[in-house]
């Protein structure tokens, strides 16, 4: 990524939040690097150098600012295919810290050679994947030290260092400080023995209420609970081969442009995976300015305009989301919720949480694969048709074997082809999953009932022609159409 120093300095002077996470500034006079929104006094231009990533800034010898905290900067969400490979690799490393893979294995899973991945990654981020991953671990540890009172040993393990000695050595090399120095400098966190609360930043504006309305209509009783201010859910996640279960609670803090994520203590070892999934669910890497610039003129029917800060609802559990989409084929949102609730109650695992609405985790891929054949004997009594039961089983087997990958770090175009090859996955289902289970910003289910109704039931070929004007943000345009239809007709789609 090439950065124009004059343009970056202008953005730095303006402290424009739209540039947050798109570059970092290293200040030669202090040896510190900051986000462009840092509230410290703007340094002189001759003392500034600009970097495409926090890792590149640290590789040049700069330390992270304790005021603006670079570890909170939102990530990039560009669509340019030239950068997609490097971004997919970065998303996967961010999601699990390569807890079960090497860089070579990561490259193989992406369909490229180790050497090619390193070359492309260095061109995009200015450093090797190993250096980038080390920086992510450093910043993750710094956030845990800054915002929690977790023991230093636990921070070292949860951040992926493997030992306190290794974390201490790397902190001294990079920051000339020990982990304990960060805690003494910044004070204690606000966690308890049962949970910790961490912050994830986003670029404003953020249509939080609209996003929660979408999620509350589709929340699975017992698994999810959504009210006017926050989202809660149970969690079943695998980390280093160990199944971990717990809960999360997410609330918006608009005065700081962050969401506060409360995580149960049982999920601490998988904290990076949990936070990556929260980012994906709430589309925190979104660049709302770029999307609004493209879709601001979207006027289809009376009162149908694009809402600034609209986010694309992703998912926390890709398997759960995909099963929910299968169940929702050609039936109402309420009916699909009922079927998903029955599946969770019958095949999920009970869990104790501080919230009376959260009582069970959704059945995992392994649970569905372990069901004796025919699968219809298990799902049929719940009201699931035979064809959809077989689709769910085929999906679970494909995920279990690694033939399909969903969620952060998946290649949307490749996985859309893989999904289309499964039984019962037609064009509508694939496009819907591209939006929510793959986070693809340019999906467009042109045959969708809600899309056609919101556009006045024009012919499909005309809908496709019209939608070309909205590329590469057609997923956001689709969501805008659904929201418009729901507001004016009290209809929930999908």
Residue 99 sits in a domain whose CATH number is 1.10.10.60
How do residues 292-316 score in pLDDT, each as one tens digit? 988 988 765 555 678 999 999 999 9
CATH number, domain with residue 40: 3.40.10.10
Neighbours of 230 (CB within 10 A): 16
The mean per-residue pLDDT over the stretch 168-191 comes to 76
**Is the residue at 357 inside a domain?**
yes
**Is the residue at 404 inside a domain?**
yes
What pTM, to 2 d.p., does this model score?
0.86
**Is the residue at 413 inside a domain?**
yes
The mean per-residue pLDDT over the stretch 355-362 comes to 97
Is 34 among the residues known to form the active site? yes
**Looking at 65, 68, 448, 494, which residue is catalytic?**
448
**Is the residue at 377 inside a domain?**
yes
**Is the residue at 463 inside a domain?**
no
301: left (phi over 0), alpha (psi -120 to 50) or beta: left
Neighbours of 436 (CB within 10 A): 25
How do residues 361-372 score in pLDDT, each as one tens digit? 999 999 999 999
Residues 215, 265, single domain; the answer is yes
Q: Kindly report which listed range (71-75, 257-261, 475-479) carries the lowest average pLDDT score.
A: 71-75
Final residue belonging to a domain, choices 414, 434, 454: 434
Domain count, the chain: 3
Residues 222, 347, single domain; the answer is yes
Residues 109, 42, single domain; the answer is no
Instruction: Quickly state the pLDDT bin for 461 (edges 50, 70, 90).
Output: confident
**Is the residue at 462 inside a domain?**
no
Instruction: Quickly state the pLDDT bin for 49 (edges 50, 70, 90).
Output: very high
**Domain span including residue 44:** 5-72
Final residue belonging to a domain, choices 434, 451, 468: 434
What is each CA distance from 223 to 5, 65, 212, 238, in whole angstroms? 48, 39, 16, 17
What's the distance, Cα to Cα, between the start and end of the chain in Å? 38
Q: Kindly report which listed range (35-39, 76-80, 396-400) carries the lowest average pLDDT score.
A: 76-80
Residues 173, 222, single domain; the answer is no
Final residue belonging to a domain, choices 136, 165, 186: 186
- Work out the angle between the directed axes of helices 318-327 and 386-401 (0-180°, nearest 10): 160
**Is residue 438 packed enough to be buried (19+ CB in 10 Å), middle (13-18) or exposed (0-12)?**
buried
CATH number, domain with residue 275: 3.30.310.20
Asked if 311 and 441 touch (Cβ cutoff 8 Å), the reply is no
Find where tokens 């009582």 sit. 359
**Cis? peptide before 96, omega within 30° of 0:** no
The mean per-residue pLDDT over the stretch 13-38 comes to 90
- Calpha distance 5→196 (Å, rounded): 39
Continuous H helices in 239-270: none
How do residues 388-431 score in pLDDT, each as one tens digit? 999 999 999 999 999 999 988 888 888 999 999 999 999 999 99
Residues 24, 117, single domain; the answer is no
Q: Which residue has the higher pLDDT, 325 or 39?
A: 325
**Is the residue at 448 inside a domain?**
no
Asked if 434 and 403 touch (Cβ cutoff 8 Å), the reply is no
Residues 366, 279, single domain; the answer is yes
Residues 117, 207, single domain; the answer is no
**Looking at 34, 38, 286, 494, which residue is catalytic?**
34
The DSSP symbol for 312 reads -
Instruction: Quickly state the pLDDT bin for 181 (edges 50, 70, 90).
Output: confident
Residues 211, 334, single domain; the answer is yes
Residues 397, 337, single domain; the answer is yes
Residues 68, 117, single domain; the answer is no
**Is the residue at 481 inside a domain?**
no
Residues 112, 44, single domain; the answer is no
Residues 120, 44, single domain; the answer is no
3-state secondary structure of 159: coil
């Amino acid at each position: 990524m090439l950065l124009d120093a004059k343009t970056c300095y202008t953005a730095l002077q303006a402290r424009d939040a739209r540039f947050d996470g798109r570059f970092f500034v290293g200040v030669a006079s202090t040896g510190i690097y900051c986000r462009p929104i840092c509230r410290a006094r703007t340094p002189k231009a001759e003392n500034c150098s600009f970097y495409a990533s926090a890792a590149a800034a640290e590789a040049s010898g700069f330390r992270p600012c304790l005021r603006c905290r670079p570890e909170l900067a939102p990530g990039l969400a560009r669509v340019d295919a030239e950068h997609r490979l490097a971004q997919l690799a970065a998303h996967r490393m961010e999601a699990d810290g390569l807890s079960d893979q090497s860089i070579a294995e990561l490259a193989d899973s992406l369909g490229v050679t180790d050497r090619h991945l390193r070359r492309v990654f260095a061109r995009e981020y200015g450093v090797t994947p190993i250096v980038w991953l080390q920086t992510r671990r450093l910043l993750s540890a710094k956030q845990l030290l800054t915002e929690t009172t977790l023991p230093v040993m636990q921070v070292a393990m949860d951040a992926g260092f493997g030992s306190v000695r290794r974390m201490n050595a790397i902190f001294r090399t990079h920051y000339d400080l020990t982990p304990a120095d960060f805690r003494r400098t910044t004070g204690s966190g606000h966690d308890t023995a049962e949970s910790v609360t961490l912050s994830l930043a986003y670029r404003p504006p953020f249509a939080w209420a609209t996003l929660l309305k979408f999620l509350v209509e589709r929340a699975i009783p017992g698994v999810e609970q959504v009210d006017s201010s926050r989202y809660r859910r149970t969690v079943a996640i695998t980390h280093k081969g160990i199944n971990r279960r717990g809960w999360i609670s997410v609330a918006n803090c608009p005065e700081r442009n962050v969401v506060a994520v409360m995580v149960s203590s049982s999920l601490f070892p998988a904290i990076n995976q949990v936070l990556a999934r929260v980012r994906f669910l709430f589309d925190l890497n979104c660049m709302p300015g770029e999307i609004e610039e493209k879709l601001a003129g979207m006027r289809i029917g009376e009162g149908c305009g694009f809402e600034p800060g609209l986010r694309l609802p992703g998912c926390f559990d890709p398997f759960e989301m995909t099963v929910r989409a299968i169940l929702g084929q050609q039936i109402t949102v309420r009916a699909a919720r009922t079927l998903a609730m029955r599946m969770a109650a019958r095949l999920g695992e009970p869990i104790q949480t501080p919230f009376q609405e959260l009582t069970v985790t959704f059945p995992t891929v392994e649970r569905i694969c372990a069901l004796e054949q025919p699968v219809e004997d298990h799902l049929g009594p719940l009201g699931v048709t035979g064809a959809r039961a077989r689709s769910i089983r085929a999906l679970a087997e494909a995920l279990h074997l690694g033939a399909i990958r969903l969620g952060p770090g998946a290649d949307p175009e490749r996985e859309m082809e893989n999904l289309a090859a499964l039984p019962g996955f037609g064009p509508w289902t694939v496009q819907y999953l591209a939006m929510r289970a793959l986070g693809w910003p340019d999906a467009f289910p042109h045959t969708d009932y809600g899309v056609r109704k919101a556009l006045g039931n024009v012919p499909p070929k005309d809908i496709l022609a019209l939608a070309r004007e909205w590329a590469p943000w057609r997923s956001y345009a689709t969501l805008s159409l659904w929201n418009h239809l729901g507001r004016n007709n009290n209809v929930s789609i999908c």
